[in-house]
Amino acid sequence: MGKKNKTAITPTRAENYSEWYQQVVKASKMADQSPVRGCMVIKPWGYALWENIMGVLDNMFKETGVKNAYFPLFIPLSFLEKEAEHVEGFAKECAVVTHHRLEKKSNGGLEPAGMLNEPLIVRPTSETIIGDSFSKWVSSYRDLPLLINQWANVVRWEMRTRVFLRTSEFLWQEGHTVHATAEEAVERTQMMLEVYARFAQEYLAMPVIKGRKTASERFPGAVDTLCIEAMMQDRKGLQSGTSHFLGQNFARASEIKFQSSTEKEEYAWTTSWGASTRLIGGLIMTHGDDDGVILPPRVASAHVVLMPIIRKPEDRTTVMAYVESLEKELKDKYYHHRRLEVEIDDRDIGGARGWEWIKKGIPLRVEIGPRDITDDSVYVGRRDKGHRDKTSMKRNRFVGEVTDILDEIQQNLFERALLFRKAHSINIDDKKEFYEFFTPKNSEEPEIHGGFALSHWCGEDRCESKIKEDLSVTIRCIPLSGPSEKGTCIYCGGPSSRRVVFAKAY
Amino acid sequence: MGKKNKTAITPTRAENYSEWYQQVVKASKMADQSPVRGCMVIKPWGYALWENIMGVLDNMFKETGVKNAYFPLFIPLSFLEKEAEHVEGFAKECAVVTHHRLEKKSNGGLEPAGMLNEPLIVRPTSETIIGDSFSKWVSSYRDLPLLINQWANVVRWEMRTRVFLRTSEFLWQEGHTVHATAEEAVERTQMMLEVYARFAQEYLAMPVIKGRKTASERFPGAVDTLCIEAMMQDRKGLQSGTSHFLGQNFARASEIKFQSSTEKEEYAWTTSWGASTRLIGGLIMTHGDDDGVILPPRVASAHVVLMPIIRKPEDRTTVMAYVESLEKELKDKYYHHRRLEVEIDDRDIGGARGWEWIKKGIPLRVEIGPRDITDDSVYVGRRDKGHRDKTSMKRNRFVGEVTDILDEIQQNLFERALLFRKAHSINIDDKKEFYEFFTPKNSEEPEIHGGFALSHWCGEDRCESKIKEDLSVTIRCIPLSGPSEKGTCIYCGGPSSRRVVFAKAY
């Protein structure tokens, strides 16, 4: 005792949270920095996770009648300018295409040539370019609702980037719908928020609060922005999916009109909603520990790794045959609509092998050596438990129960995260207490403090922005559920009818 | 009689082939032109087809050990310059990003601001940016082979565009692999060509010739380019997938080196291979007729449309109940690893309804009215037959045989296309005959003539480029199979050891 337990990741969360995050991503082999400022390379282990996220979300969208389509990467500058708040919101972070070829310079190098008449913006989001198509697709109320989704890359030129959480290019889906009435569009906005919330909780095992953004945090051009907010292990908030009611703003900008059933021409009502590779960052920061990533089984890049233990060369044939037959048996099983994904790792690299899979966060590690085979047993380690906490199980029992074990891990991760959020969420009614809550104590890692403060707010921009100025704390959301309750604004003491969620945020 | 049969598409193929193509795409609702020069909007009916194409190809790749990943959209200009032939090949068609934000002009409009130190190229293909990652991922022979694929959008600024066939932005997959030996890389190049050929023939029902490009048609920077070539109904060739052996060219450019098992540092051997949304254009031009698109069942956006016939309002409940129970029964069936996709179209728009589905190319149209229900029958139209050629079938028989019927259509489409190609492929050994073959007769639509001429070629660039100059005819490929045969070059009379495929091409 006395000696510090070694962890696979240095530094630990408590020592330096943001550096821990970078190291966890690196050790998991999920992504790399790229030589292009702020862009990331998503490696196979990270991309497989994204494929699973896409697969589940895509099905959930399609179940609500949404169809996929694809629209241009480029948006003419004049399109972006059509909605005043929208262009204002994105002008500071646009990649701009100005030329369409390269020409030899006198020194032999190449320079941009073939200047475009009008600059093109690499889409930061596609309301305006999709709106142009919608204006052609919609002419009668019979064409509505129009329910479209796009899986795509988008670019927002960020100055400070962090892999998965904030990158200049990221992958996402953006849903865009058109409706005949405001009510129907509002209903769709809420429906898609529900989809995101359900996905986050049931698949990412990430508890979320469903809420509404304040005016200052709204999507540029939206009438109303709904969101799901999760708490990371440094107690900061992470916005993990947003659903916007756009009113008629973008319909006016793009001339999306329809003939109503009473033969009047009307502007339509639109929504948009999106979730991105940021979810992967959220998942890592929700579940990861000082040994690396922990992947929730329902979206995990793979479910089980089989690690044959071969100490003597003459054991290889027997052990590998056993392992391969077990692989086959496992791969025939289904877990949440996909077949179990099983890896065999027979590299002879000692303890580094197991640690690599721990760092990658695979839910189940299974060791199999000659003695296990004699006993028809396997030696199972769960990623949600300590790395020494392994169990010998009869092979048949393991195969029979493997999907239950995975669901137990899934459940366990969710409950742990929920307990964590509860432990760091607090009603605060006193201004001094509020300021102390969001100020690091000397004894703490300066990045880990605070949490979700549920406090009253008068509804004024001024109080919100003062708090942001003083503490870098923002209103993450006004929760959709939860009781109305009379109180006084934590900043100005003005009247308030409900608590909102204050937190530092990514 | 005497009166011309009306077709759903005007003009017909024989009247004006390229206009027919544009009209078929439009009528099918698969894609739109976009306001962005040369970019297309892929509509839901077209995108569903692309999703099916992606699904099948992705599985085929994964079965060979390939994993997916994702790399940046942008390539620094200096990266592109690393391989001389490569940059030469793409410099004339590059979208160039020069700025990263927008700023207000004095007149209130916006202009590009925040100039980048180094221009970024929107990827036209990703060898150089992926090579940078590979140089970091590979250090020992134990890291090889490295087998990676990316699904992505790419941009090549084309001057003359045609939806699906040649667009400034298109969707594709690009596979990139790294190997320890030239032999292994060559083997992978061939393996992926086989995958493309199998996919084209078994899924797109598109007969293809596997071959090798001549030096002048090679991918810029490749040592060897293999390809599959199909014949469209205007008898032109369409390159539908390429697989490149890159030798050590890109390994040298990107410093992809590894320690061999004998501890020598060596440059690796790489391959790349791709197929794109162009396949959709090829599919349309292979199978489409004067009534519109014909979708091969194995990739069709949907398999069956059910069209209730409701003449009297009081029939609605009975007919819809019958149709919905049939839908349910059909959707439980599997056809080539996916569930049958069934649409119900109950719009009351008369004959236009059936024609819309004919133009969209759905394999099976099923009409169901009160009389059919009394007889427990359905009235089935196959898209590979004439629009009047419909059959009454007992419901149970239809449900029992539906997947067989789909496979019959699939087979039929393939055989038709193969017969067409055979009918317009000819051995030509005489120069005059060759020139006549590729010159439109007065009586013909000027776009439809010629075909595949299998002729001898001496191997010289000069003869190849003369023929291109005279006739716009190129060597589509040197077939991989087929006998070696002594002959004389169709242009210069020089010695040749095998026939090659000459054709006009997209």
Q: Chain B: give the shortest CA distance to residue A296, in Å.
A: 20
With CA atoms as reference, the chain A residue closest to B117 would be A37
d(Cα B127, Cα B221) in Å, to the nearest integer? 10
> Which residues of chain B does A41 touch, with a Cβ-Cβ cutoff of 8 Å?
69-72, 133
* CATH code, domain with B347: 3.40.50.800
| Residue in B435, B133, B149, B162 with CA at minimum distance from that of residue B274 | B149
| pLDDT value at residue A2 | 41
CB-based contacts of B436, cutoff 8 Å, min separation 6: none
- Altogether, the residues listed in chain A come to a count of 506
A196-230 as b/e, with b when 16 or more CB fall inside 10 Å? bbebbbbbbbbbbbbbbbbeebbbbbbbbbbbbbb
Q: Chain B: give the shortest CA distance to residue A28, in Å.
A: 14
Q: Chain B: give the shortest CA distance to residue A97, in Å.
A: 4
Split at pLDDT 50, 70, 90, the class of B1 is very low
| pLDDT value at residue B4 | 57
Is the distance from CB of A322 to CB of A375 less than 8 angstroms? no
User: Can you give the C-alpha Rg of chain B in angstroms?
Assistant: 26
Give the torsion sign (CA, B141, B143, B145, B149). Answer: negative
Q: Chain A: give the shortest CA distance to residue B71, in Å.
A: 5
- B444-459: average pLDDT: 91
Hey, what amino acid is at A77? L
Which candidate from A71, A112, A132 shows the least CB-CB separation from B119?
A: A112
Same domain? For B385 and B429 the reply is: no
Q: Chain B: give the shortest CA distance to residue A479, in Å.
A: 34
Question: Of the residues A406, A421, A436, which one is the last residue of a structural domain?
Answer: A421
With CA atoms as reference, the chain B residue closest to A89 would be B102
> Which residues of chain A does B75 touch, with a Cβ-Cβ cutoff of 8 Å?
36
* CB-defined contacts A:B, below 8 A: 189
- CA-CA distances (angstroms) from residue A482 to A72, A214, A453, B179? 42, 17, 14, 59
Positions in chain A short of pLDDT 50: 1-3
> Which residues of chain A does B72 touch, with a Cβ-Cβ cutoff of 8 Å?
34, 36, 39-41, 169
Is the distance from CB of B126 to CB of B153 less than 8 angstroms? no
A222, HSE (Cβ side, Cα atoms, 13 Å)? 27
Q: Chain B: give the shortest CA distance to residue A422, in Å.
A: 36
- B213-230: average pLDDT: 97
Same domain? For B455 and B309 the reply is: no
> Which residues of chain A does B31 touch, with a Cβ-Cβ cutoff of 8 Å?
none
Q: Chain A: give the shortest CA distance to residue B22, in Å.
A: 18
* CATH code, domain with A496: 3.30.110.30
Same domain? For A255 and A357 the reply is: no
With CA atoms as reference, the chain A residue closest to B41 would be A71
Parallel, antiparallel or unpaired: strands B452-456 and B425-427 = parallel
Choose from B50, B96, B155 for mutation: most chain A CBs within 10 A: B96
A52, HSE (Cβ side, Cα atoms, 13 Å)? 27
In a domain, A8, yes or no: no
Q: Round to the nearest angstrom and report the end-to-end CA distance of chain A.
A: 38
d(Cα B253, Cα B268) in Å, to the nearest integer? 11
Cβ separation A34–B93 shorter than 8 A: no
Q: Chain A: give the shortest CA distance to residue B196, in Å.
A: 22
In the block, which residue shows the tokens 């089935």?
Answer: B380
Choose from A94, A100, A155 for mutation: most chain B CBs within 10 A: A100
Cβ separation A70–B50 shorter than 8 A: yes
Cβ separation B102–A91 shorter than 8 A: yes
| Residue in A143, A164, A132 with CA at minimum distance from that of residue A22 | A164
Choose from B67, B110, B126 for mutation: most chain A CBs within 10 A: B110
pTM > 0.90: yes or no: yes
Domain residues for B439?
Answer: 425-503
Kind plus residue range of the DSSP H or E element containing B286: helix B278-287
Same domain? For A415 and A436 the reply is: no
Which candidate from A81, A97, A119 shows the least CB-CB separation from B122?
A: A97
Q: Chain A: give the shortest CA distance to residue B94, in Å.
A: 5
Question: Of the residues B408, B441, B466, which one is the last residue of a structural domain?
Answer: B408
A286-297 as b/e, with b when 16 or more CB fall inside 10 Å? bbbbbbbbbbbb
Which candidate from A42, A75, A100 shows the least CB-CB separation from B95?
A: A100
pLDDT digits (tens, 9 = 90+) for B159-172: 899 999 999 999 99
- B99-108: average pLDDT: 92
- B90-101: average pLDDT: 96
Same domain? For A277 and A398 the reply is: no
Cβ separation B81–A152 shorter than 8 A: no
CB atoms closer than 10 angstroms to residue A79: 24
pLDDT digits (tens, 9 = 90+) for B61-79: 999 999 999 999 999 999 9
Q: Chain B: give the shortest CA distance to residue A20, in Å.
A: 22
The structure tokens listed for B253 are: 């450019």
Same domain? For A252 and A329 the reply is: no
Same domain? For B331 and B376 the reply is: yes
pLDDT digits (tens, 9 = 90+) for A273-283: 999 999 999 99
Task: Report the number of distinct structural domains present in chain B.
Answer: 3
Question: Of the residues B239, B262, B287, which one is the last residue of a structural domain?
Answer: B287
Cβ separation A42–B81 shorter than 8 A: no
In a domain, B354, yes or no: yes
The structure tokens listed for B459 are: 């191997």
> Which residues of chain B does A40 touch, with a Cβ-Cβ cutoff of 8 Å?
72
Cβ separation A91–B103 shorter than 8 A: yes
Same domain? For B206 and B69 the reply is: yes
In a domain, A292, yes or no: no
Which candidate from A93, A111, A171 shows the least CB-CB separation from B70?
A: A171
The CA-CA-CA angle for residues A426, A242, A229, to 5°, reads: 15
> Which residues of chain A does B71 touch, with a Cβ-Cβ cutoff of 8 Å?
34, 41-42
In a domain, B5, yes or no: no
The CA-CA-CA angle for residues A256, A259, A263, to 5°, reads: 155
Helices A352-360 + A17-28 axis angle, to 10: 110
Cβ separation A36–B81 shorter than 8 A: no
With CA atoms as reference, the chain B residue closest to A148 would be B44
> Which residues of chain A does B253 touch, with a Cβ-Cβ cutoff of 8 Å?
none
> Which residues of chain A does B171 touch, with a Cβ-Cβ cutoff of 8 Å?
70
Is the distance from CB of A228 to CB of A254 less than 8 angstroms? no
Give the torsion sign (CA, B434, B436, B441, B445). Answer: positive
Mean pLDDT of chain B: 96
In a domain, B419, yes or no: no
Cβ separation A169–B122 shorter than 8 A: no
B180, HSE (Cβ side, Cα atoms, 13 Å)? 15
pLDDT digits (tens, 9 = 90+) for A186-199: 999 999 999 999 99
In a domain, A1, yes or no: no
Choose from A50, A71, A86, A168 for mutation: most chain B CBs within 10 A: A71
Choose from B26, B33, B41 for mutation: most chain A CBs within 10 A: B41
Choose from B74, B79, B150 for mutation: most chain A CBs within 10 A: B74
Same domain? For A439 and A381 the reply is: no
pLDDT digits (tens, 9 = 90+) for B346-373: 999 999 999 999 999 999 999 999 999 9
Cβ separation A132–B93 shorter than 8 A: no
Q: Is the pLDDT of residue B2 over 60?
A: no
d(Cα B119, Cα B103) in Å, to the nearest integer? 19
Split at pLDDT 50, 70, 90, the class of B204 is very high
> Which residues of chain A does B132 touch, with a Cβ-Cβ cutoff of 8 Å?
34-35
* CATH code, domain with B32: 3.30.930.10
With CA atoms as reference, the chain A residue closest to B30 would be A69
Cβ separation B48–A68 shorter than 8 A: yes
Same domain? For A357 and A451 the reply is: no
Same domain? For B312 and B234 the reply is: no
> Which residues of chain A does B76 touch, with a Cβ-Cβ cutoff of 8 Å?
35-36
What φ, ψ does residue B368 adopt, rounded to 5°?
Answer: -140, 115
- DSSP state string for A443-457: TS-TTS---EEEEE-
| pLDDT value at residue A4 | 56
> Which residues of chain B does A339 touch, with a Cβ-Cβ cutoff of 8 Å?
none
In a domain, B76, yes or no: yes
| pLDDT value at residue A447 | 80
d(Cα B194, Cα B199) in Å, to the nearest integer? 8
The structure tokens listed for B100 are: 């990263």
Q: Chain A: give the shortest CA distance to residue B469, in Å.
A: 25
CB-based contacts of A368, cutoff 8 Å, min separation 6: A306, A307, A308, A309, A319, A322, A323, A326, A378, A379
Beta strands in A236-303 (DSSP E): 237-245, 257-259, 265-267, 269-276
In a domain, A293, yes or no: no
Q: Chain B: give the shortest CA distance to residue A416, in Å.
A: 31
Same domain? For B445 and B480 the reply is: yes
